[in-house]
Chain A
Amino acid sequence: MNKATLLAVSIVSGLALTTAAEARDQIRIVGSSTVYPFTTAVAEQFGKASGGKTPVVESTGTGGGMKIFCEGVGVDKADGTNASRRIKKSEFELCDKNGVKDIIELTVGYDGLTIAQSKDGPQVALTRKQVFQALAEKVPNDKGELVDNPYKNWSDIDPSLPNIKIEVLGPPPTSGTRDSFHELFMEKGAEGFDSLKAMKADKATEKDFEKIWKSIRKDGAYVEAGENDNVIVQKLEGNKNAFGIFGFSFLEENADKLKGVAIEGADPTFDNISGGKYKGARPLFVYFKKAHIGVIPGLDKFIAEYTSEKALGTEGYLTEKGLVALPKDAFEKSAKAANEGVTLKADELK
């Protein structure tokens, strides 16, 4: 037995030394778990069509993906990263510092962030201001003073809302979906109050304003249901008075059990999100390194596949996976960036 194990050890250590500088024939992409279902679908189609190796897509989260993406240029570094928000200026600078100079940015579609409930639940339509009132830790009262959130039932916020307890299941703070929820719903909702809007405009109180929309109440009205959206879907089935926050694709796939709540009068539907009527939507991005095109075999073809009509178009296979297609001009911009290798400039970012 000892000889066998010695052999195993020597093989393992031998492999470890030889692999370090091997050339790579497989595309590697990291990043957001929200974009993961779409990039993987493209990867699979690409692998089937090319007959070569299927690209490896890692699910690391947007921030984690950016870190890996910006490590540098070379065969041992990732070729692309998925992002559920635009690249930040700080990340762009990090990339630049590490030699990742030319970045191709593709906007691939929208992800609608939906508030949904069980099919059997009472019919509800909300505004973002009401969502803010229901879930913020501190809200302005009638006199405009900030108080601890006093609302117990939806009808306390607005008499036209049903008289049921506020109970919203949503993602934990570590999730990218949660970040989007804060930005799309809570911040915009807070701006619906004149007193808070004044706070935002004033440089001195800007930070306090940020704290208000970034704090969610902790008295049980908002339940952190874990990173997995399927868990929220399951819980909503059992509790018809509860609401859940998750991506549009989950609402679409579970149309037999759930219905979406209209926000400012617009239902979360494919057309409303794509047309910009539904306010709770965010764009999704994929970033590639221009320096890797021509070095990693097939990368240019993969980018072309991603921005092709059959993938990203309004009838494309990605829409079947729940991605909301881009309007025509945005789609053309992405296709152009892909074809001509248009790179991102620092002054486009904030």
Chain B
Amino acid sequence: MTDITAGGVSPPIRRVEFETAESKARLRRRYRSEARFKAYGIAALVVAAAFLFALLSSIVMRGIPGFFQHYLVADVLVDAAKIDPEGKGDAATLRAGDYTAVARAALAEAIPGVEGRQLKRELNGLLSSGAGDALREMVVADPSLVGQRVKAPLLLADEADVFLKTSGTKIRVISDTRGIATPSATTGEISILVGANDFADDVALVKAELKALADSIDETIARRKARGATVESLADLEREATELRRRHAAAATSERLDAKTASRLVAINGGLVKVKEMTPTLVKGEVIIPLKSTADAAPGTWEIRVYETPESNRNLNDRGLAFLEELKAKGLVESQFNFAFFTRGDSREAELAGIQGALVGSILTLLVTIGLCLPIGVLAAIYLEEFAPKNRITELIEININNLAAVPSIVFGLLGLAVFLNFFGMPRSAPLVGGLVLALLVLPTIIIASRAALKSVPPSIREAALGVGASKQQAVFHHVLPLAMPGIMTGTIIGMAHALGETAPLLMIGMIAFIVDVPSSLTQAATVLPVQIFLWSDLPEPAFKMKTAAAIIVLLAVLFLMNGLAIWLRKKFERRW
């Protein structure tokens, strides 16, 4: 902008015109360009934040139910005959007692009188196979409970738990019944005669469903005919449609309910009957919860309950659902925080599966990793940065360390398999081997971070130390290293966080495994958090999906903690020059 005047003769002053329309337009263009760039930046940030928010909120929403668990909280009689028949009272006997039987007895007390093997199976199926575990701990801790009644939480099975968590079906209750209902018996297959046509609406509904079904089949037939399908190929469908229409048209005859229509139950005289056949005034069905008597029930004292979701579309069948609703109505079902999730190892029963095994495995593995990585990485960095002569060889090493940091992690797994397992004969699935492999994986990261931290210490510190007569080693270890430590720690923790999230290299050394026992040493079989997540996500039971999300939350929490520690260390010990 400014012209330098040389010599005495002033050259013609070149005026830069800021006021012309052209220059104003140019200025505006530059401002606009800048504003655009800022807008792109903000847009990018917003998009990234939105994705992060969507991801985190989806994980949290799915994961939170995984931390809770439904229990049947009932008065349990700790039956001495089942726990300790000989009255020994020592811990081993108490531990070996049949607590499942005790839990089942408590359930049978909550819903008394259930008969028939099939019905009993359905009822007991509501309880987890580990239902008595909490009770066992209580009794072992306090042997005086034997023979007493205690309030104990009994774990529900995963189907019931998931059903309660997702509120599986809508239940419509028709309580303004108009007729007097007379049941024929209290258990087994019974019929109920009703004084008014209370079931007329329901029969009409079912018939409407049948007609809709028949219509849709007819449509299919018409469509296929139009496209030239042969008559024989349609015979089956036509038969089915005709049958449906016949059922729809037959006004007075009874209507059969199946798994594809909404389920209907009748609650009468303290019992529950699943309807199998109905006419407007008579229903036939199977007793799920026994009736108290065969007395006539006055209008309004009995009710019809409709489970809107057909049985075939649910994971919990009518009987299980009826029992569960009954327990809920008695106020015996409670949702509690699932502490066992943090104190158990893996299990194939979703309600029993916990992450302690994986958590301990991760900690053991990381201990080995950090125990190897930190000294080797830091010492290597110090040597390379402070002592090594700068020549071809050190340059080559430096380049290779950088290359090593970019090698895919599965390669380290293969290396671990070939060297540690096959050559040294170390055990498969052991945290020791996992830690060694992960140490190889993060070593380059730590060396690079440590070198950067050492480099950032100003030369004046070294020179001052050398100036007062310190040896080079003293200068490095007494002055440079302490100042570089925050940077080194940050790098190490980030490296560890990286190692915590790895699964691929562990595949090769057998850590992708089902391990129930929580590992207690470096050579016992173990798995780690991300592997546990991977394994659970692959199982078909819906309850494991919640567990997966819950385990992801735990992993994320550990990662946040580690990264938070790194930031805190940096802030606390950071020096600026």
Contacts from A to B (Cβ < 8 Å) = 2, 5-6, 8-9, 11-12, 15-16, 19-22, 26, 28, 30, 33, 36-37, 39-41, 43-44, 47, 53-54, 56-60, 76, 78, 119, 123, 155, 159-160, 227-230, 247, 249-250, 252-256, 321-322
Contacts and interface: CB of A to CB of B under 8 A. Distances in A.
Interface of A is mostly: mixed
Nearest to B125: A320
Interface string B333-373: 00000000000000111000000000000000001100110
Contact of B348 (A44, A119, A160): A44
A20 B424 contact: yes
Interface stretch (B38-46, B447-455, B513-521, B566-574): B513-521
A255 B163 CA distance: 13
Contact of B372 (A9, A33, A159, A228): A9
B425 interface: yes
B516 A44 contact: yes
B229 A159 contact: yes
A-B CB proximity, top 4 nearest:
A159-B227, A8-B371, A54-B516, A57-B514
The CB with the most chain B CB atoms within 10 A, among A30, A39, A227, A230, is that of A230
Contacts, number: 128
Interface stretch (B184-192, B532-540, B556-564): B532-540
The majority secondary structure among interface residues of chain B is loop
B426 A16 contact: yes
Contact of A256 (B220, B313, B349, B429): B313
A155 B368 CA distance: 60
Given A12-B432, A22-B427, A228-B537, A159 B516 contact: no
Nearest to A19: B523
Nearest to B371: A8
Interface residues of B, number: 50
Contacts of A39: 514
Given A12-B371, A123-B220, A160-B227, A43 B312 contact: no
B515 A160 contact: no
23 contacts: A8-B371, A11-B371, A12-B432, A15-B522, A16-B432, A19-B426, A19-B432, A21-B425, A37-B539, A40-B348, A41-B348, A43-B516, A54-B515, A54-B516, A58-B428, A60-B512, A155-B227, A159-B227, A160-B224, A160-B227, A253-B542, A256-B313, A322-B540
B523 A56 contact: no
Nearest to B420: A16
A92 B347 CA distance: 32
Nearest to B217: A123
B212 to A, nearest CB: 14
Which of A15, A33, A78, A254 is packed against the most chain B CB atoms within 10 Å? Answer: A15
Contacts of B57: none
B495 to A, nearest CB: 15
Given A43-B516, A253-B315, A9 B375 contact: yes
A299 to B, nearest CB: 16
Contacts of A9: 371-372, 375
